[in-house]
């Protein structure tokens, strides 16, 4: 039996074991939402927008809400892209969970994705006017693709078929920031796959293609100033899916419209670029999470937040024990300060 046929139940078991362990994360005092800790990283001079992208590991977000709240308060982003959220939750619950973060006078606005099934919804939250876009809610696979992937996986249906029929775990929204309209897309692509010819890699590339098509259709229908695409791309077999999302380079003098660039983020004070902590899993630590942006935005600084990277003084000031990141999620959030480019 092929490795990928065995991998799904193994990863599911690891996920459930992780969630049980995550429940032991240190709670946050009840007044932390009224008195958030200091900001972890000073914004770069000229910053117009801080964006966070984080795979929050399903129910761990709600099981460990106060600890997540403390981390999010320390980062203090304007736009939150949280993927692999549970399908049992909704926009109202996420809005309530984010209460107390940032400007108390501005309520968080949330776009909660419908695709992706029970375990991997993508979400976007902003304190600025946010309009969810239906075009990203209908990204479905062709019947022949579903049949081929089920055949490769050696599955006759069940959970995998249900997941495939749920479509791409994505959501898109227009966000009005500084008087300009941003198109923000959150994603969580198919995980795993032990070789480049696996059904998982085939599905990842198909998902990237569907997202790229929806992005181009969306900007044709409604002009925007800039585009941000972010989330867990699960690039375990190379970056072909990211290349599809970015857009094909033009052979002519003019670049392809809306060709995206990738943010290069590192752990604070280190050269490490991994966002997936592979310790104790079948996969090594690597960069699986990505933030892409259009040319109208320029990254001024890009960091990967990990409490293990904090100095003792920082951990104390932020009230974040060094083990918190590992307890909350196997993924680490990417944080980017952008400025507008004329």
Q: Does domain 3-340 correspond to CATH entry 3.60.10.10?
A: yes
Give residue 103's pLDDT: 77
The ranges assigned to domains in the chain are 3-340
Strands 289-293 and 261-262: antiparallel
Query: For 114-133, what is each residue's pLDDT tens digit?
Result: 999 888 899 999 999 999 99
Residue 253 confidence class, pLDDT cut points 50, 70, 90: low
Higher pLDDT, 126 or 8: 126
Give residue 328's pLDDT: 97
- The Cα 30–Cα 99 span in angstroms is 13
Query: For 59-82, what is each residue's pLDDT tens digit?
Result: 999 999 999 999 999 999 999 999
Predicted structure pTM score: 0.88
Long-range contacts, 305-311 (Cβ 8 Å, 24+): 305/40, 305/71, 305/74, 305/75, 305/268, 305/332, 305/333, 305/334, 305/335, 306/267, 306/268, 306/332, 307/71, 309/267, 309/268, 309/269, 309/270, 310/40, 310/268
Half-sphere exposure of 167 (CA within 13 A, CB side): 15
Give residue 19's pLDDT: 39
């Amino acid at each position: 039996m092929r490795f990928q046929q065995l991998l799904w139940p193994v990863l599911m078991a690891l996920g459930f074991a992780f969630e049980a362990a995550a429940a032991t994360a240190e709670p946050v005092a009840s007044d932390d939402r009224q008195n958030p800790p200091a900001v972890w990283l000073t914004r770069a001079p000229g910053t117009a927008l801080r964006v966070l992208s984080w795979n929050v590991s399903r129910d761990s977000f709600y099981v460990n809400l106060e600890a997540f709240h403390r981390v999010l308060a320390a980062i203090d982003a304007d736009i939150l892209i949280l993927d692999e959220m549970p399908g049992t939750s909704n926009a109202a619950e996420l809005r309530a969970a984010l209460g107390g973060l940032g400007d108390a006078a501005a309520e968080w606005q949330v776009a909660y994705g419908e695709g992706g099934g029970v375990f991997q919804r993508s979400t976007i939250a902003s304190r600025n006017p946010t309009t969810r876009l239906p075009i990203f809610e209908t990204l479905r696979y062709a019947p022949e693709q579903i049949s081929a992937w089920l055949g490769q996986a050696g599955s006759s249906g069940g959970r995998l078929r249900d997941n495939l029929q749920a479509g791409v775990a994505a959501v898109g929204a227009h966000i009005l920031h500084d008087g300009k309209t941003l198109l923000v897309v959150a994603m969580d692509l198919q995980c795993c796959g032990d070789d480049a010819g696996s059904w998982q890699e085939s599905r990842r590339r198909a998902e990237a293609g569907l997202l790229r098509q929806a992005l181009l259709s969306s900007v044709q229908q409604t002009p925007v100033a800039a585009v941000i695409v972010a989330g867990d791309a699960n690039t375990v077999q190379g970056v072909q899916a990211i290349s599809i999302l970015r857009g094909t380079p033009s052979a002519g003098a003019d670049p392809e419209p809306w060709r995206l660039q990738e943010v290069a983020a590192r752990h604070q004070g280190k050269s490490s670029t991994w966002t997936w902590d592979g310790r104790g899993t079948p996969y090594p630590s690597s960069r699986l999470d990505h933030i892409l942006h259009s040319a109208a935005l320029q990254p001024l600084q890009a960091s990967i937040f990990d409490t293990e990277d904090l100095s003792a003084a920082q951990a104390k000031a932020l009230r974040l024990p060094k083990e918190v990141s590992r307890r909350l999620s196997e993924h680490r959030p990417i944080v980017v300060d952008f400025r507008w480019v004329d």
